[in-house]
């Protein structure tokens, strides 16, 4: 399992009610189900991923996070997880609002466009950065709204969203990925 | 009803007040079971059949000698594994496979009920079938499962008996019959009633059968169970045992011949009045009605774990209508999974060999069963 998933799993509490938005093939959900909380379900858009979740015996709802989060009532989950998908939504602001409405806490991870390798790539090569976390070219990337950890922190400040973040400048330079717990 | 003398049935003594206002009692409910009930009676599944189904879901139907309607899904080692689960299937009231229906003899007139049979609803069907839980002394079912009208019964069952089933799998169904579906059912009913042999529903006492009307109803309905792409792929414009068009109204095309065949075999196994009564029950189905249009309220008292399944090419009970049920359950924080299966086999997909569908049912049941063991 990806290191990111272990780090996310550490943030959720025992037996809490969890929604994994864009749960992919269910790898993280399976780990959480077996080790932390059975009360977890996911939303996933891709039919083949939905089948993989079903095969793992996970509760999955086939659907689109941009449209389907509105059906959940306020505060209906202790944690809502969104791993590296925020930047791919057409309207990430709306998705963030929805996450914070339906979850008491939201755990959000973003690929950090402020990482030194990304900066160096653009500075030296003068082309759009292609890295391990950002493997696509500009013409086929699903990422519509790239941001840095600092951008994300600025956004949260502006919208009065509580964010757990230490050593902003250090992280913005050295972390390829930002993982945050957000609260309204 | 001699042909039904060897099939299993219970006589339900307990009076049942039907939605139409009439009360019935001492009526027959025909059923079949598959697998073995375990010691703590925790492995029982009730499956509900669709419009033209019956209690013989698996194996060979002893009356029609044809394969059971859910042979792909139900049996040893299959999605609904009868090596593991005890499965109860019954014939709905209003049906024609041994349960109380319009061809039964009315004790007052000593003649078949015909159209004097009371109009029944999905609610009535489910309330009648509930008696089988008492009969088998089952406190709580492990699952209730059904597709199409069977799915409607699943929804009604959970609404009526909120904590009598641990899990529920409604497949390719709706919580409220649409105008299009009422229209299609009306087409079938009018076809039957237009047949001179129908005789206002009292055809049996005159030894007549409205076979033509019933066959046309089946042909029309059969088209709605398939998809345009599926039909095109299977039949296209292929001709039936001829090299060229005959410039007549014979069945030139394979699709015509196929539909005629489907109509002709159907009349041998199904009663025209049952077709009227059961389609009426489907049309009257609107689970939201009692709850001021709010479907969530139908499930408020339930802790049943749902898994809802729809099919991409099903235009009769489309994904959107299945998803409405998911939305209603999510809105009140209930446990629900949902999958739309890719298939070009139309509404009938749930009866056919569609591996993703069968796997979905299998994994959901097995995982849920592990949780209680």
Distance CA B333, CA B123 (A): 25
Out of B228, B261, B279, a domain closes at B279
Distances (CA, A) of A125 to A133, A144, A176: 18, 22, 19
Count of structural domains, chain A: 1
| pTM to 2 decimal places | 0.95
Distance CA B45, CA B86 (A): 6
What band does B246 get if pLDDT is binned at 50, 70 and 90? very high
Backbone angles phi, psi at B366, to 5 degrees: -65, -40
Of B20, B106, B18, B10, the closest CA to residue B55 belongs to B10
Long-range own/partner contacts, residues B191-197 (CB < 8 A, 24 or more apart): B191/B216, B191/B217, B191/B220, B192/B217, B192/B272, B192/B275, B192/B276, B193/B276, B195/B272
Of B92, A165, B9, the closest CA to residue B102 belongs to B92
Of A17, A10, A61, the closest CA to residue A39 belongs to A17
Distance CA B248, CA B242 (A): 13
- Tens digits of per-residue pLDDT, A118-162? 999 999 999 999 888 888 999 999 999 999 999 999 999 999 999
pLDDT at A165: 84
Pair B105, B148 in one domain: yes
Contact state of A72 with B331 under an 8 Å Cβ cutoff:
yes
Over range A171-182, report the average pLDDT: 93
Out of B213, B247, B279, a domain closes at B279
Pair B16, B112 in one domain: yes
Distance CA A141, CA A154 (A): 25
Q: Indicate the residue of B333, B339, B367 with minimum beta-carbon distance to A62.
A: B339
Mean pLDDT of chain B: 97
Distance CA A4, CA B143 (A): 37
pLDDT at B282: 98
- Tens digits of per-residue pLDDT, B1-16? 467 888 999 999 999 9
Count of structural domains, chain B: 2
- Tens digits of per-residue pLDDT, B296-344? 999 999 999 999 999 999 999 999 999 999 999 999 999 999 999 999 9
Distance CA A67, CA A63 (A): 8
Question: DSSP characters for B134-172?
Answer: HHTT-SSEEEEEEETHHHHHHHHHHHHSTTSEEEEEEES
Round to the nearest angstrom and report the end-to-end CA distance of chain B: 43
CB A76 within 8 A of CB A100: no
Chain B CB contacts of A58 under 8 Å are 367
Over range B231-237, report the average pLDDT: 97
Pair B110, B26 in one domain: yes
Contact state of A73 with B332 under an 8 Å Cβ cutoff:
yes
Contact state of A76 with B333 under an 8 Å Cβ cutoff:
yes
How big is the CA angle at A82 (ends A81 and A88), to the nearest 5 degrees? 170
Q: Taking the CA atoms of chain B, what radius of gyration do you get in angstroms? A: 20
Chain B CB contacts of A54 under 8 Å are 337, 339, 359-360, 363-364
Pair B109, B11 in one domain: yes
Pair B164, B40 in one domain: yes
Pair B187, B239 in one domain: yes
Contact state of B337 with A59 under an 8 Å Cβ cutoff:
yes
Of B340, B295, B336, B337, the closest CA to residue B314 belongs to B340
Q: How far is A58 from chain B (nearest CA, A)?
A: 8
CB A23 within 8 A of CB A59: no
Contact state of A59 with B336 under an 8 Å Cβ cutoff:
yes
Chain A CB contacts of B340 under 8 Å are 47, 62
Q: How far is B323 from chain A (nearest CA, A)?
A: 9
- Quote the tokens at residue B255: 């699709």
Query: Could you list the residue range(s) of the whole structural domain that residue B346 is in?
Result: 2-178+288-372
3-class DSSP assignment, residue B19:
coil
Chain B CB contacts of A55 under 8 Å are 359, 363
Contact state of B330 with A72 under an 8 Å Cβ cutoff:
yes
Q: How far is A101 from chain B (nearest CA, A)?
A: 13
Distance CA B106, CA B10 (A): 18
Q: How many CB atoms lie within 10 A of CB B8?
A: 13
The chain B residue lying nearest A68, using CA atoms, is B327
Q: For the stretch B295-330, what's the b/e string if a residue is b when 16 or more beta carbons lie within 10 angstroms of its beta carbon? A: bbbbbeebebbbbbbbbbbbebbbbebbbbbbbbbb
Pair B144, B197 in one domain: no
What band does B218 get if pLDDT is binned at 50, 70 and 90? very high
pLDDT at B4: 84
Pair B159, B307 in one domain: yes
Mutate to test the interface with A, among B338, B357, B373 (most CBs of A within 10 A): B338
Q: How far is A2 from chain B (nearest CA, A)?
A: 25
Pair B165, B187 in one domain: no
The chain B residue lying nearest A34, using CA atoms, is B371
Distance CA B188, CA B221 (A): 7
Contact state of A57 with B367 under an 8 Å Cβ cutoff:
yes
Of A13, A177, A168, the closest CA to residue A86 belongs to A177
Over range B237-266, report the average pLDDT: 96
Pair B188, B225 in one domain: yes
Which residues, 6 or more positions from A182, have their beta carbon under 8 angstroms from its beta carbon?
A96, A99, A100, A105, A106, A107, A108, A156, A161, A162, A163
Pair B214, B243 in one domain: yes
CATH number at residue A118: 3.40.50.150
- Tens digits of per-residue pLDDT, A26-84? 999 999 999 999 999 999 999 999 999 999 999 999 999 999 999 999 999 999 999 99
Q: Indicate the residue of B331, B338, B366 with minimum beta-carbon distance to A62.
A: B338
Q: Which residues of A touch B (CB under 8 A)?
A: 38, 41, 47, 50-51, 54-63, 71-73, 76
Q: Alpha helix locations (H) across chain B?
A: 122-129, 131-135, 149-160, 179-193, 211-225, 228-234, 254-269, 272-283, 295-298, 319-330, 355-372
Pair B129, B203 in one domain: no
Mutate to test the interface with A, among B337, B355, B361, B370 (most CBs of A within 10 A): B337
Residue with tokens 């189900």: A33
Q: What percentage of chain B reaches a pLDDT higher than 70?
A: 99
- Tens digits of per-residue pLDDT, A2-30? 999 999 999 999 999 999 999 999 999 99
How long a stretch of residues is chain B?
Answer: 373
Over range B278-284, report the average pLDDT: 98
Q: How many CB atoms lie within 10 A of CB A83?
A: 21
pLDDT at B2: 65
Q: For the stretch B81-90, what's the b/e string if a residue is b when 16 or more beta carbons lie within 10 angstroms of its beta carbon? A: bbebbbbbbb
Contact state of B339 with A54 under an 8 Å Cβ cutoff:
yes
Query: Could you list the residue range(s) of the whole structural domain that residue A20 is in?
Result: 3-183
Q: Give percent helix, percent strand, percent coil of chain B, each to the nearest 5.
A: 40, 20, 40
pLDDT at B348: 98
- Tens digits of per-residue pLDDT, B73-122? 999 999 999 999 999 999 999 999 999 999 999 999 999 999 999 999 99
CATH number at residue B117: 3.40.50.1820
Residues of B belonging to the active site = 148, 314, 347
What band does B373 get if pLDDT is binned at 50, 70 and 90? confident
Chain B CB contacts of A57 under 8 Å are 363-364, 366-367, 370
Q: How far is A29 from chain B (nearest CA, A)?
A: 14
ipTM: 0.91
Q: What is the 3-state secondary structure (H, E, C) of chain A?
A: CCHHHHHHHCCCCCCCCEEEECCCCCHHHHHHHHHCCCCEEEEECCHHHHHHHHHCCCEEEECCHHHHHHHCCCCCEEEEEEECCHHHCCCHHHHHHHHHHHEEEEEEEEEECCCHHHHHHHHHHCCCCCCCCCCCCCCCCCCCCCECHHHHHHHHHHCCCEECCCCHHHHHHHCCEEEEEEEC
Distance CA B90, CA B332 (A): 32
The chain B residue lying nearest A77, using CA atoms, is B333
CB pairs under 8 A between A and B: 55
Out of B217, B246, B279, a domain closes at B279
């Amino acid at each position: 399992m990806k290191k990111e998933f272990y780090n996310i799993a550490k943030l959720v509490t025992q037996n809490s009610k969890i929604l994994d938005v864009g749960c992919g093939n269910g790898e993280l959900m399976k780990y959480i189900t077996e080790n932390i909380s059975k009360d977890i379900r996911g939303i996933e858009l891709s039919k083949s991923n939905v089948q993989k979740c079903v095969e793992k015996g996970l509760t999955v709802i086939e659907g689109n996070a941009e449209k389907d989060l509105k059906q959940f009532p306020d505060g209906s989950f202790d944690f809502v997880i969104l791993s590296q998908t925020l930047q791919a939504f057409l309207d990430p602001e709306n998705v963030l609002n929805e996450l914070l409405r339906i979850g008491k806490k939201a755990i959000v991870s973003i690929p950090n466009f402020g990482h030194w390798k990304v900066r160096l790539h653009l500075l030296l090569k003068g082309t759009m950065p292609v890295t391990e976390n950002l493997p696509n070219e500009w013409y086929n990337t699903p990422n519509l709204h790239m941001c840095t950890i600092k951008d994300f922190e600025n956004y949260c400040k502006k919208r009065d969203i509580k964010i757990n973040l230490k050593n902003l400048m250090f992280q913005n330079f050295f972390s390829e990925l930002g993982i945050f717990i957000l609260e309204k | 009803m001699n042909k039904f003398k060897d099939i299993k049935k219970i006589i339900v003594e307990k009076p049942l007040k039907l939605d139409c206002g009439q009360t019935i009692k001492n009526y027959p409910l025909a059923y079949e079971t598959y697998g073995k009930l375990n010691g703590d009676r925790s492995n029982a599944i009730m499956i509900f059949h669709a419009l033209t189904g019956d209690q013989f879901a698996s194996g060979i139907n002893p009356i029609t000698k044809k394969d059971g309607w859910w042979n792909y899904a139900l049996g040893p080692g299959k999605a609904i594994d009868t090596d593991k689960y005890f499965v109860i299937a019954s014939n709905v009231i209003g049906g024609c496979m041994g349960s109380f229906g319009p061809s039964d003899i009315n004790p007052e007139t000593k003649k078949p009920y015909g159209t004097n049979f009371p109009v029944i609803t999905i609610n009535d069907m489910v309330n009648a079938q509930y008696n089988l839980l008492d009969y088998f002394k089952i406190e709580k079912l492990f699952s209730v499962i059904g597709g199409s009208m069977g799915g409607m019964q699943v929804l009604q069952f959970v609404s009526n008996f909120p904590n009598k089933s641990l899990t529920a799998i409604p497949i390719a169904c709706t919580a409220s019959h649409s105008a299009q579906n009422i229209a299609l059912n009306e087409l079938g009913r009018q076809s039957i009633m237009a047949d001179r042999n129908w005789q206002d529903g009292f055809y049996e006492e005159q030894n007549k059968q409205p076979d033509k009307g019933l066959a046309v109803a089946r042909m029309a309905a059969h088209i709605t169970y398939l998809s345009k792409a599926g039909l095109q792929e299977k039949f296209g414009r292929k001709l039936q045992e001829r090299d060229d068009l005959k410039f007549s109204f014979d069945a030139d095309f394979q699709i015509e011949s196929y539909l005629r065949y489907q109509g002709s075999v159907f009349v041998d196994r199904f009663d025209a009045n049952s077709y009227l009564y059961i389609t009426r029950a489907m049309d009257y189905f609107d689970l939201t009605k009692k709850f001021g249009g709010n479907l969530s309220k139908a499930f408020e008292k339930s802790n049943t774990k749902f898994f809802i399944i729809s099919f991409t090419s099903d235009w009769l009970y489309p994904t959107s209508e299945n998803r409405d049920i998911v939305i209603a359950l999510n809105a009140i924080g209930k446990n629900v999974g949902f999958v739309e299966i890719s298939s070009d086999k139309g509404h009938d997909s749930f009866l056919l060999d569609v591996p993703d569908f069968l796997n979905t049912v299998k994994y959901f049941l097995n995982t849920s069963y592990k949780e209680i063991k």
